[in-house]
Amino acid sequence: KKKLKISGRELLSVPIQVFDLDQLQVLEMSPERESCLRYRMEHLPQEIGRLRNLTCLYVDSNNLKKIPAEIGTLSRLERLTLSNNSLSSLPAEIGALQRLHSLHLANNSLTEFPAPLCQLRSLIFLDVSDNKIDTIPSSIRHLEKLETLLLLFNSLESLPEDVCLLRNLHTLWLGNNHLQSLPAAFGDLVNLDWGYNYCSCNFDGNPLESPPPEVCSRGPEGIRDYFSSLRRI
C-alpha cells in the first residue's frame, strides 16, 4: 500500500508493523474529519524514520508532546500536519525537511517561533496560530517561497523588518496579537491586498496605532504613503 489511514475510537498507539511499510507515501493518523473519534497518541514512534518514501504525514488532533529527531530522515516529506496537539517544541532535525512545503502547527503550546523552521526553503504554507509565540526571528527572511503565514492568536508585540522581505506572501493573518505598529517597509508586501481582498491580510484584535486600521485598509500603497509622510515630518 502507498496510502494508509489508521483509525480507532480511542487510538493510543500505532502497531509497530506499520513502520515496515517502506513504500508508504501517505500516512494518516488523525480524527480531524471524524468528530466521533478521539485520538490520544502522546508520542510519535522513533520508527517513523523508516518510512523514507513518505510524502504526507497527518497527525492532527492527538495529544503529541514530542516529535522524534528521526522525523528529519523523511527527506521526501512535503506535507506535515501537527495541529491540535500538546507540542511545546520541535526537534532541530525538522530543518532537514527541504521538500516540505506545507506545515500545520496551530493550537499547540509553542512559546517561541521554532528556529529550525527558518531552514525550510521550500515552505509555502505555515500555520502557527493559537500558540503563545511572542517573537518572530529575523531569520524568517530565509523562507523566500512562503505564500501563506498564519499567526493568529499569539502574543506578538512586534514584527521584524525581515518579514517585509517575504515578497511572495499572499496571505498573512496577524489577528488577535498585541501589535501596536507595523514595520516601515510593510507596504512592500505588494502581493497582499488589504483593500480589495481583506482575507489576504488580517489585523483584527490588535491595538494598531502605526499605521491605524483605516490606513491598512487602503492596501500597500496606503501603507507606503503613511510611512513616507512620517519621514517628511
DSSP 167-201: TT-SEEE--SS---B--TTGGG-TT--TTT-GGGE
pLDDT tens figures, 74-90: 999 999 999 999 999 99
pLDDT tens figures, 113-155: 999 999 999 999 999 999 999 999 999 999 999 999 999 999 9
Residue 34: predicted pLDDT: 59
For residues 139 and 4, give the distance between their C-alpha atoms in angstroms, rounded to a whole number.
Answer: 36
For residues 80 and 131, give the distance between their C-alpha atoms in angstroms, rounded to a whole number.
Answer: 17
Average the pLDDT over 90-111 and give the result.
Answer: 97
Q: Which helix (H) or strand (E) holds 4?
A: strand 3-5
- Between 80 and 41, where is the model more confident? 80
For residues 172 and 192, give the distance between their C-alpha atoms in angstroms, rounded to a whole number.
Answer: 8
Please, what is the average pLDDT of the chain? Answer: 90
Residue labelled with grid coordinates 521550500: 122
Residue type at 115? A
pLDDT tens figures, 9-18: 677 888 889 9
- CB-CB contact of 74 with 56 (8 Å): no
- CB-CB contact of 27 with 54 (8 Å): yes
For residues 189 and 233, give the distance between their C-alpha atoms in angstroms, rounded to a whole number.
Answer: 24
Average the pLDDT over 100-108 and give the result.
Answer: 98
Residue 178: predicted pLDDT: 96
Residue labelled with grid coordinates 527527506: 75
Residue type at 2? K
pLDDT band per the 50, 70, 90 thresholds, residue 3:
very high
pLDDT(108) > 90: yes
Taking every pair of C-alpha atoms in the chain, what is the biggest distance, in angstroms? 69
Q: Which helix (H) or strand (E) holds 213?
A: helix 213-216
pLDDT tens figures, 164-218: 999 999 999 999 999 999 999 998 898 886 655 667 888 889 999 998 888 887 7
- The gap from C-alpha 129 to its chain's centroid, in whole angstroms, comes to 7
Which three-class secondary structure state does DSSP give residue 81?
Answer: strand
Using CA atoms, how far residue 110 sits from 76, 90, 104, in Å, is: 25, 9, 13
Q: Report percent pLDDT > 90 for the chain.
A: 69
**Hey, what domains does the chain have and what are their CATH numbers?**
3-231 (3.80.10.10)
